[in-house]
Amino acid sequence: MKKKIVVLTGAGVSAESGFSTFRDKDGLWETHPVEQVATPEGWQADPVFVNEFYNGLRRQLVEASPNEAHRLLARLEKTYDVTIITQNVDNLHERGGSSKVIHLHGELMKACSSIAPNDPQHIVTLTPGEIDIRPGQLAGDGSLLRPFIVWFGEPVPLIEAAAAEVAQADIFVIIGSSLAVYPAAGLIRHCRRGIPVFLIDPQEVRLPAHASVEIIREPATIGVARLIELLNNLP
């Protein structure tokens, strides 16, 4: 039976693909206040502006490509049972070849009802040919169509499924996440005691005091290649 690897990824895994991150220096929050584009209140105040912000991100995403970190993680599926839990809203893991991806914060290439965002009947996938949500465009339930994004102040519907995956992991890996956004940052606490835990990030990351973690202080592309070397030496 294959060992189970669970990987939590944040903005750092997509940064080398040229896709804008939110929190880093010169990130999107520097030019677009969170309250304006990433809260239910911002949506209520100006849905056209919020949709156009995400339309612009979507146009950028279709021009971006998976990087070597995405591809190497997908390749791990040959020898491990791999689940990716991502805080990112891009689809670069899927495009890189990963088959099991849990999106905690939604998916940029999808749109949904503004009164029942998680109702699967009214979640639609946008395509490069029809990438924008137009002003006044409606979901199947007659409400305004909005980005399928978990905004600040909204529940994270897949957090329990993600925690269950982490609890079953034989190996846990964190890549490019500041571990500053909850509840995702708390997933490390669901690891079984004694399993190998790796952190890949060129920046200092604040870890729980009790955590025993092997740190690879490299960008994602270099760090995942190094991770694979370390995995090959595990018993």
Which CATH class name applies to 1-19+67-105+157-235? alpha beta
pTM across the whole model: 0.93
Task: Report the pLDDT averaged over residues 156-183.
Answer: 94
Greatest mean pLDDT among 157-161, 178-182, 200-204, 211-215? 157-161
Residues with Cβ < 8 Å from 31, sequence gap 6 or more? none
3-state secondary structure of 112: strand
Please tell me which residue, 148 or 180, carries the higher pLDDT value: 148
Cis peptide, bond prior to residue 235, ω within 30 of zero: no
Q: What is the pLDDT of residues 84-123, one digit of tens each?
A: 999 999 999 999 999 999 999 999 999 999 999 999 999 9
- Least-confidence region, from 134-138, 154-158, 170-174, 201-205: 201-205
DSSP letter at 176? S
Question: For residue 200, what pLDDT is reported?
Answer: 96
Determine the pLDDT at residue 170: 97
Strand partners, 6: 83, 172
pLDDT of residue 233: 87
> Which single residue is written with the structure tokens 């490069």?
128
Residue 206, exposed/middle/buried by CB under 10 A (0-12, 13-18, 19+)? exposed
* Whether the Cβ atoms of residue 106 and residue 150 lie closer than 8 Å to each other: yes
Q: What is the pLDDT of residues 29-59, one digit of tens each?
A: 455 677 888 999 999 999 999 999 999 999 9
Its sign, for the CA torsion 49, 148, 143, 118, is negative
User: What confidence tier does 192 reach under pLDDT thresholds 50, 70, 90?
Assistant: very high
Segment 4-27, tens digit of pLDDT: 999 999 999 998 998 766 555 444
Over residues 153-170, mean pLDDT: 97
Confidence of residue 212 (pLDDT cuts 50, 70, 90): confident
CA angle centred on 175, ends 207 and 214, rounded to 5°? 55
The CATH number of domain 21-63+111-149, selected from 3.40.30.10, 3.30.1600.10, 3.30.470.10, 3.10.110.10: 3.30.1600.10
- Catalytic residue annotation: 105
The H or E element containing residue 35 is: helix 34-37
What are the domain boundaries of the chain? 1-19+67-105+157-235, 21-63+111-149
What H or E segment, with its residue span, contains residue 146?
strand 145-149
